[in-house]
Structure 1
Amino acid sequence: MKRELFYLFFLAFLSLSGKAQGDREVYERYCAAMKEKTALPAGGLMVETARFFLGTPYVAGTLEEVPERLVINLHGLDCMTLVENTTALAWSVKHRPAFDGYASALKDMRYRNAGNATLDYTDRLHYTTDWIYENEKRGYLKDVTKEIGGKPLKLDLSFMSTHPDSYKQLKGNPERIAIMAAKEKEINARPHYYIPQDEIDAHAGQIRNGDIVCFVTTVKGLDISHVGIICREGDKLTFIHASTTKKQVIVNEEPLQEYVQGVKRNCGIMIVRPQF
């Protein structure tokens, strides 16, 4: 029995080691691809970084490991992990060009208390508006929605605390549910702004390459349903994202406003700008 347990542990270790090594190889390829582009402004580097991942498979739920740990996965991305990794990689090649520097930045961007020796599920920045708020405080990003013409947005976040059975880390854990409910209340009390879906083109001239676009949803209890990286294809304002329909990272074919208007539960966007 002990021998079998040891063998299973050894296989798991080899699997994790292989994944980590594979992600380091992707990082090295990324650095090589960006070697002549590190002098680009932050927005340009964000676009080039996002383009590096074109064709990468869409994979959801990669962060949901128990116990909680910093997950690095550059082989399969969802919309948020694409944006997080793009931001952390672009920051790292400018400020701390090493795999450990990238990993440290990713952890700092993903967790509220990133310096804790042990991470908890409630430390992770689950709501995108909270992710924006914390990373603005740390100097990585700036929410420019208001200054480019955004209108007040009232949030009523409650989804995670009222649907705990949808999250294995919350299910049957009243202490964590209470923490999430308190955090939702705190986020709701902050000021928020958005650009309504029919006004996006009117403000397009103030949206820059490399900005992070966040799609505001009307789903009760949520804030943002999808995210991407702004890019321009000729005169067309669009974005790079991990697409659930195409099952990979793509440059979206439709212009930004047309895309937002075409999704029933979208009502507008937030725009967040890298600050490095």
Structure 2
Amino acid sequence: MGQITCATEDSILFEKKLNQIKHIRTSSLGDSIVAIGKSFLGTPYVEKTLEVGTKETLVINLRGLDCTTFVENVLAFGLQIKGDKHLFLDFAKKLETVRYRNGEMNGYSSRLHYFTDWIRNNESIGLVEDITPELGGEIIQKPINFMGTHRNLYPFLADDTNYENILKVESDLAKESLCILPQNQIEAQEAHIQDGDIIALATSIKGLDVTHTGFAIRVDGRVHLLHASTSGSVTITKEPLVDYLKKIKSNTGIIVARPTLLSSQTP
């Protein structure tokens, strides 16, 4: 494991969080994921929390989350309470496993920047299962190259090595297809989406696969989204997921990944 970047407050928050959730006893993994996710309710939304310094480090920030780091931290805590090790460094290793290609931080391009890449990698090590095909998802081909074509938006890409490595990642992604459950078919499949499923919002924006992510949570029988909202904090959508998506002009549907947390590679 490489260098860790965190504040003293984060190690304190880790201990508080662990004490808060370590006795969670639920009937399913999905319920446990939701319970951990709900423990973050009200945590401020903060964008670009991982863009720290000039060299890639393992950033741990429990004081502010964006949509992806929210999902990552919830899964890492899920692994933490599932195991028998409860030290901060153990949590850091679990976060590294979730966030980086093959579970190892090796420079900026080893971070799983594109969420479909994130899903594939974590599926390959047994942490999640992409169930979109089972829900009737449709296969599409789309170039995923937003970072390479918008270099100026990513400070780390000012470094030529980082930039070339990201272009290589995007070249590999070009060989992969996307499976998306179209927006107009989600309601018909809602009964098959479980609490704790990861919901990734697919987009029509050129070069991007996903613009947002969170967890499915049922409220009065309907699937809502538990997420780090750009409106301010970790929250649950007031309206069902289906209605929430209709307000997003660029949304084309969703990708659904079910946490399994079964990886034998996870420390």
TM-score in terms of structure 2 length: 0.91
For 1:56, what is the secondary structure of its paired residue?
coil
Distance 2:225 2:208 in 1: 22
Distance 1:268 1:84 in 2: 22
TM-align CA RMSD: 1.8
Distance 1:35 1:57 in 2: 23
Q: How does 1:176-195 map to 2 (within 5 A)?
A: 176-195=162-181
Conserved 8 A contact 2:5-2:60 = no
1:258 aligns with 2:247: no
Partner of 2:213: 227
Q: Deviations over 1:74-128 (max 9, x none)?
A: 1100101100101111111102441222211100111115446xx3111111000
Partner of 2:186: 200
Distance 1:128 1:115 in 2: 17
State which of 138, 141, 146 in structure 2 corresponds to 1:154. Answer: 141
Which sections of structure 2, spanning at least 5 residues, go unmatched? 262-267
Stretches of 4+ aligned residues off by more than 4 angstroms: none
Conserved 8 A contact 2:70-2:228 = yes
Higher CA-based Rg: 1
Residues 217, 49 of structure 1: CA spacing in aligned structure 2 closer, same or farther, 3 A cutoff?
A: same
TM-score in terms of structure 1 length: 0.88
Partner of 1:130: 117
Residues 252, 183 of structure 1: CA spacing in aligned structure 2 closer, same or farther, 3 A cutoff?
A: same
Partner of 1:7: none
Partner of 2:69: 81
Conserved 8 A contact 1:38-1:94 = no
Equivalent AA in structure 2 for residue 75 of structure 1: R
Distance 2:257 2:173 in 1: 17
State which of 227, 230, 233 in structure 2 corresponds to 1:248. Answer: 233
Which sections of structure 1, spanning at least 5 residues, go unmatched? 1-16
Cα deviation for residue 135 of structure 1 reads 0.6
Partner of 1:11: none
Distance 2:99 2:5 in 1: 23
Distance 2:89 2:81 in 1: 11
Cα deviation for residue 185 of structure 1 reads 2.1
Conserved 8 A contact 2:102-2:121 = no
State which of 25, 31, 36 in structure 2 corresponds to 1:44. Answer: 31
Q: Work out the number of aligned pairs and report it.
A: 256
Cα deviation for residue 19 of structure 1 reads 5.2
Residues 175, 95 of structure 1: CA spacing in aligned structure 2 closer, same or farther, 3 A cutoff?
A: same
Equivalent AA in structure 2 for residue 185 of structure 1: S
Partner of 2:80: 92
Conserved 8 A contact 2:68-2:213 = yes
